[in-house]
Structure 1
Amino acid sequence: MIKQAFSPLPVDEWPDRDQSLWDEAKQSAGPFDDDDGFAANWRPPTIKGCERGYGVWLGWLATNGQLNPDLHPCDRITKDRISAFVLEYGVGRAELTVAATIRNLAYVLRACAPPHGVEWLTKLAHRMMNRAKPSRPKLPRMARVTDVDLLAEQLMSAGLQQMRKGQRSGAVAYRDGLMIGLLINRPMRLRNLASLRIGHSFIIDDFGMRMIFTPEETKKGVPLDWSVPERLEPAVLTYLEEVRPALLKEGIDDEGWFWVGRRGRRMPDTDISIRVTKTTRKHLGRDLSPHLFRDCVVTEIALERPEWIGLSKNLLGHKLLASSQKYYNQATSFTAFARHGDVIREFRGK
């Protein structure tokens, strides 16, 4: 079934009471007061996600003529309404998307009516998150690290040859190859990849080429200071000195964004994701999204060097190793399929 559009209600269009409670929840106490708002220490991505989820809920209420602006946010919650919302919002959407929206709604209510908000809704949200299944299985889309790394080299080599012949399309191929090469060697999140900016988050100094992100710029609140692999440094220099200038266009101010699109402007994260996915589909036969690179890297470690699995925490920018352990699931699946193949080969050999 085709999903219906659900436009989130912007914060400045929320009912006055909702805005007031939410602003209060985000307020930090003064230096002599320990009474912070419930959401005062939430990270910006968490705040943004919660505002979107709650905005979707308010928008649905408004569309259905059920948004009473005078009610407290918690008083609009009933099990019947939540059931109707989930039923309608869930059409055509992944279980995880629906669960995350309910969780964000529950968290806003907790912040507006601390510490519990609507307790049964919070429990429901956590249960939905735990039971949600990915819309697309990861395993069939994953690829070996060596194959991805080789593809990156081939794209850059072919792109450079095209550029030498005066073909501007070669710059695009080279750029895409470098994206893939950086992702498979430094599996950063898409948001950080897209925000690379020369002289800011991308720096060349006495320590080499580095990609630096503050805690506020990372999902887990962990500062990242990643060096570009030494063997990729010549490729990056070629990109900065030859390829990127070929992508820029006259009349457009160069603001230093690392990734430049065909029109000479900064590439948004959505464009980067589309380019990476289309390129890996074309050459590897796999829809390898930028986020899936992280699964590939840690799964390969678990398969080939399980004694190094402790490195996965730093590779992925997690605070805890437990956050990375879930990738063992993919490695376990790979092992199971390999053993299954051995049994089949043994059977056919008899």
Structure 2
Amino acid sequence: MDKPSRQYAHSCPREKPNTRDDARLARGLARRIATWPALDQALWAASCAHTDPLDDPGYGSTLRLASRFKIARGYSYWLIFLREQDWLDETAAPGDRLSDARSAAWFRALKARGNRAGTIIGRFAELNLAIRVLTPDADRSCVLQPHGASVRQRLNDDRRGFLTPDARVLYREGYRLMDTAEPSKRDRWRSQLLQYRDGLFFAIQAARARRLGTVAQTTISGNLSRVDDRYWLVYTPDQIKTGRADRVLLPKRLNPYIDRYLTEIRPQLLRGQIHDALWAGTLGEPLAERGIEKLVRKRSRHLLGVSIGTHRFRHAIGTTAPAVNRAQPRLGGVVLNISEAVAREHYNRANADLATELFHQDMLERTDDANNRAWLSKTSQ
């Protein structure tokens, strides 16, 4: 790699250090920035440059030296990771190098290196702030909530102690698995069949989320039916935990995927066995509760960085539905076929999550205002 130009070696206009610690931080900051692509150095310098008080200051210029050093250090770790994966395009804007997949891969890499929860959370916070300094208009959602859930949630560091993923992310993952499955590949045809099956399972569960025991009992002739142009899952009271009959209308978009599973994928999975279970296992046998839980944990670990159980689909719907449809707060309970009280007490975390997000946003805005006032006051003096 070409040596970075000296033009941006100090990241921003020099500040007179107040103490030895400031001098050390300034030297360390310059060394960090010197390893960055030239474009990143230029953007950092522009954001950190002091401007006329009447101009809109760059976010970097509102930060103290210690904050700049910490953010730059974290961003350097991110660039090192991108280089190791051969993902670093030095001509691309910093925000364009972000993606949910890369955030998830970095999360797994940090965990594999033995970093503690606080360190991992800090690395993502530093990356978020660095992108804000470098390209303030960039979409940072894949850093704040990669694949629909925050890093803090993935590390089980929240009050409830477990991850509540966004149901839309799980639903989208189901279609991705089905759309990318290629059962025609001779060398991997079996794994591709299982990928398609798992994708259909994810899509159905993310949309309707029935309990594990009910799902494991699902049969084609006894529970699955097609009326006109829609598929239904109809369960008898003895198949439901609450003892109430349940009728589940599946999304119309799933029609061609269910058709293909029934006519092409499932017959190949059966390996000559004959049974009525909707979900077939690896050896063709009916997929039991343990097998269903295993496939969910395997696929979710790849998607989210941590594994979740089948029941977590219900929490996902209970939280996502009222958050997305605020005019219908009871929607989650209706989809899950449970009472409003149960949905509110055990499944809906939307109000707490939204309140937390609003509180954090308010705190950030107040902090930014305070920083800007302090900077303007210092400049006027």
Is 1:326 aligned to 2:345, yes or no? yes
**Given the alignment of the two structures, is residue 262 of structure 1 paired with residue 282 of structure 2, yes or no?**
yes
Q: Structure 1 residue 207: deviation in Å?
A: 6.3
Q: Which runs of 5+ in 1 are unaligned?
A: 1-133
Q: Deviations over 1:305-348 (max 9, x none)?
A: 23212233331122x32121215751133123312431453225
Aligned counterparts, 1:6-17, within 5 A = none
Q: Where does residue 241 of structure 1 map in the other structure?
A: 263
Q: How far apart are the structure 1 equivalents of 2:301 and 2:362?
A: 30
Say whether the 8 Å CA contact 1:298–1:309 is kept in structure 2: no
TM normalised by structure 1 equals 0.56
The answer to whether 1:209 aligns with 2:198 is: no
Structure 2 vs 1, CA of residues 200 and 139 (structure 1 numbering), >3 Å: closer, same or farther?
same
Deviations 1:20-56 (A, max 9, x none): xxxxxxxxxxxxxxxxxxxxxxxxxxxxxxxxxxxxx
For residue 316 of structure 2, the aligned residue among 296, 301, 305 is 296
* Corresponding residue of 1:152: 174
Give the residue type in structure 2 aligned to 1:331: A
In the alignment, the residues of structure 2 paired with residue 153 and residue 138 of structure 1 have an alpha-carbon distance, to the nearest angstrom, of 29
169, 177, 180: which one pairs with 2:199? 177
The question of 1:341 aligning with 2:360 is answered yes
Provide Cα deviations, 1:32-91, integer angstroms capped at 9, x if missing partner.
xxxxxxxxxxxxxxxxxxxxxxxxxxxxxxxxxxxxxxxxxxxxxxxxxxxxxxxxxxxx
Does the 8 Å CA contact 2:318/2:349 hold for their aligned counterparts? no
- Tell me which of 270, 287, 307 is aligned to 2:307: 287
- Structure 2 Cα separation of the partners of residues 138 and 247 of structure 1: 39
Of residues 190-199 and 201-210 in structure 1, the stretch that sits farther from structure 2 once superposed is 201-210
Compared with structure 1, are the counterparts of its residues 288 and 138 closer, same or farther at alpha carbon in structure 2 (3 Å cutoff)? farther
Q: Please give the residue correspondences for 1:75-86 in structure 2 after superposition, counting only pairs within 5 Å.
A: none
2-side partners of 1:175 and 1:345: how far apart? 44
**Which structure 2 residues correspond to residues 42-61 of structure 1 after superposition, within 5 A?**
none
* Separation (CA, whole Å) in 2 of partners of 1:348 and 1:140: 31
Provide the rounded CA distance (Å) in 1 between the counterparts of 2:347 and 2:235.
Answer: 27
Distance in 1, Cα, partners of 2:347 & 2:304: 23
**Which AA in structure 2 matches 1:218?**
I
What secondary structure sits across from 1:226 in the alignment? strand
- TM-score between the two structures when normalised by the length of structure 2: 0.52
Give the deviation of 1:138 after TM superposition.
5.1
Other-structure match for 1:196: 218
Kept after mapping to 1: 8 A contact 2:322/2:331: no
% identical equivalent positions: 25
SS in 2 for 1:240: helix
| 3-state DSSP of counterpart to 1:326 | helix
Distance in 1, matches of 2:209 and 2:340, equals 16
Sort the Cα spacing of 1:293 and 1:304 in 2 relative to 1 into closer, same or farther, 3 A: same
On the 8 A contact 2:246/2:337 being kept in 1, the answer is yes
Shift in Å at residue 193 of structure 1?
A: 1.1
Task: Answer yes or no: is the 8 Å Cα contact 1:138–1:292 preserved in 2.
Answer: no
CA RMSD of superposed structures (Å): 2.2
1:185-204 Cα shifts (integer Å, max 9, x gaps): 11111111111101111123
Question: 1:327–1:185: structure 2 CA closer, same or farther, 3 Å change rule?
Answer: same
Within-5 A mapping of 1:15-164: 140-159=162-181, 161=182, 163-164=183-184
**Which blocks of at least 5 consecutive residues in structure 2 are unaligned?**
1-155, 372-381
Displacement of 1:144 after TM fit? Answer: 1.3
Shift of 1:299: 0.9
Letter in 1 for 2:246: L
CA 1:165–1:182: 2 relative to 1, 3 Å: same
Distance 1:272 1:311 in 2: 26
Count how many residue pairs are aligned between Structure 1 and Structure 2.
211
**Matched residue of 1:263: which SS?**
coil
